Amino acid sequence: MQRAGFGIVLNVASTASLQPAPFMATYGATKAFVLSFSEALHEELKGSGITVTALLPGNTETEFHAKVGESDGQVGKPRTSAQVVETGIQAEQGRKAVAIDGIANIALGLLARTGTRGINRAMAAQLLRKGI
């Protein structure tokens, strides 16, 4: 990509990357890595013709929860895969570093960025706790 002077990298993180994710700690931590990594590369590659974007979908109509064996932690009405893909395409066209899919997820992201870490942990635990 660097030799060609052009490239697009779209990394799929998650809204779980925005705050601690009790009961899904490894998942949340790996998605936080993807977000941080993508943002760093986005800055490093500015002016090179290569765009790196982190896409943060939330609850999406996929087989994810069935595959991992639970339905807990699903917040809000699921977005379709097509909606998530469209958000990613628009973000790349706009050369954005981060794209959060869906208004409800954007609001959740704002709360995660403005709340204290303790409050964010407690809220996430309530949302993700088994049996809720």
Residue range 99-129, pLDDT digits in tens: 999 998 888 888 777 777 787 778 777 777 6
Residue range 40-72, pLDDT digits in tens: 999 999 999 999 999 999 888 877 656 665 555
Q: Given 23, 27, 37, 64, which residue is catalytic? A: 27
**In terms of CATH architecture, what is 7-128?**
3-Layer(aba) Sandwich (3.40)
Q: Which two tokens stand for residue 12?
A: 């799929």
Residue range 23-37, pLDDT digits in tens: 888 999 999 999 999
Nearest to 112 by CA among 50, 24, 21: 21
Q: Which two tokens stand for residue 27?
A: 């998942």
Verify whether residue 68 is a known catalytic residue: no
